[in-house]
Structure 1
Amino acid sequence: MSLGNYSTGNSGIELRNRHATGSIQSDLSRSQSIDDHYDFLFKVVLVGNTGVGKSNLLSRFTRNEFMLDFRTTIGVEFATKSIEVQSKKIKTQIWDTAGQEKFRAISSAYFRNSVGAILVYDISKFETFDALERWKAEIDDFAPQDCKVILVGNKVDLNGSRTVAKADAEAFAKHNNMLHIETSALTSENVAKMFQTLVEDIYNSQFRSVTASVATDNSRMGSISKPKSSNDAKSWCRC
């Protein structure tokens, strides 16, 4: 465990100390853009049937783009965007997993080490809501036990063609201890709010366990304390 560059290993969270000095940090600083300076890195996966709008939720949030032509995701794609929570910069790495059966073996590997999952259905296609139990089972099987899940009813711009009642979705979310929100990748309604809500929920739960782990490690290593000056930083960082 390092205080300068702290990782929780398989949990999918990385905590970075932006004030660490030394040759390693200097080399990293030269090769990274300003956006690469962050306090935490969260891995989040988008899951759900093909055609529910997972890729467009990703592109709308990260690039403010919407693809009018339907394009099936092949295997797995990902993009990143930083979000600020309680004055901490959190780099969110969002994986878009294919919804087809033939790619299930690929996508299942990417559930591992995720700290958040976005479970998406199309409010105008009941079969995508009916498939949520299967996707929830995959999250339970492959994601860490403390992975936070948000249920997302996408395509509220098609409200006139709705086949999934909001009350039914909220009941499903409550039963499975999930957050719930409805979005439209087309109009961008609630898209940023959805990602922000999930990241805040992850931060509030995971950060407590991370800091508790660091505090416990510090207590056991009694002789190590926070540096009083930048000259002491290298010895403080047990890299």
Structure 2
Amino acid sequence: MERMFKAVMLGGTGSGKTSLRNYFLYNNHTGQYTPTTNSDFVSTYITRDNGDMIAVQIWDTSECKPDMLTTQSLLQDADGIMLVYDSSSKTSLHALEKHLSAVAAVNRARQSTLPVVLVLTKCDLRADIEQHAECERAREFCLSRLEVDNIQCIVTSARTGLGVALAFQTIAEMCHSQWHDSMATPDASDRLPKVRPSRHGDPIAYGEFELDTRSGAKTRKRGATTARRFRRVLRRLFCFA
């Protein structure tokens, strides 16, 4: 059964979210700064260390409407968060404050903790020792606001490609791991919805299969998705017309 995970990138204006995603998806870096005006997502597959593929929706968010309610709405059905912070800017870290508050509020509402990866961008502009110090300072800042045990920090550069693939692979692995652990609990399959609820983008239907004992083949159950039920209703209407 394939599961698509929603990973949301949060960060201040000019933190490098779009450049980070573009390098990961297209392996290029323009060097030009264009503010993101509307939040959008790209669906892709990320390869795990064992060769398996993880389906991920990578959301690039806009800072044109940086209010907390907008961020919380986007995070309601998220599976993981990438906190993007410009290591060369003194104000970029504090721009994460409102996003951290939104993540904390969503965690309380869901009564669970979203996987979080802290991503330091533009690290090619700093020495290795400075990168380590910035990473520790940013981790402590985020830990104190989210009140979680640990946050993994990854040093990246969209200009050189340093750590970019690692950052996206890490959040995909964390999302998959948390989902797998939740599904391992007793009666987890009974709680699985037919269609994944989503307020942003297309809803993602879960696959439901039953074993055909005569042939041994797997067949999808009728009415497994909302779209299938809708098409059945349309066929009946046209037949009776």
> How far, CA to CA, are the matches of 1:146 and 1:42 in structure 2?
15
**Corresponding residue to 2:168 among 195, 199, 223:** 195
Q: 1:68 to 1:207 in 2, by over 3 A?
A: same
The answer to whether 1:135 aligns with 2:135 is no
- TM-score w.r.t. the length of structure 2 is 0.69
> How far, CA to CA, are the matches of 1:226 and 1:116 in structure 2?
33
**Corresponding residue to 2:124 among 148, 154, 157:** 157
Aligned to 1:56: 19
> How far, CA to CA, are the matches of 2:141 and 2:214 in structure 1?
52
Asked if the contact 1:58/1:79 (under 8 Å) is kept, the reply is: no
Aligned to 2:114: 147
- TM-score w.r.t. the length of structure 1 is 0.70
Higher helix share: 1
Q: 1:70 to 1:88 in 2, by over 3 A?
A: same
> How far, CA to CA, are the matches of 1:41 and 1:91 in structure 2?
5
Aligned to 1:117: 81
Aligned to 2:219: 234
Asked if the contact 1:173/1:179 (under 8 Å) is kept, the reply is: no
> How far, CA to CA, are the matches of 1:136 and 1:125 in structure 2?
18
The answer to whether 1:169 aligns with 2:138 is yes
Aligned to 1:182: 155
**How many aligned residue pairs are there?**
197
Deviation at 1:172, TM superposition (A): 3.4
Counterpart code for 2:166: K
> Mapping of 1:88-107 within 5 angstroms?
88-101=52-65, 106-107=70-71
Q: 1:230 to 1:124 in 2, by over 3 A?
A: farther
Deviation at 1:198, TM superposition (A): 1.3
> How far, CA to CA, are the matches of 2:15 and 2:213 in structure 1?
53
Cα RMSD (Å) of the superposition? 3.1
Question: Any unmatched runs of 5+ in structure 1?
Answer: 1-16, 18-38, 219-223
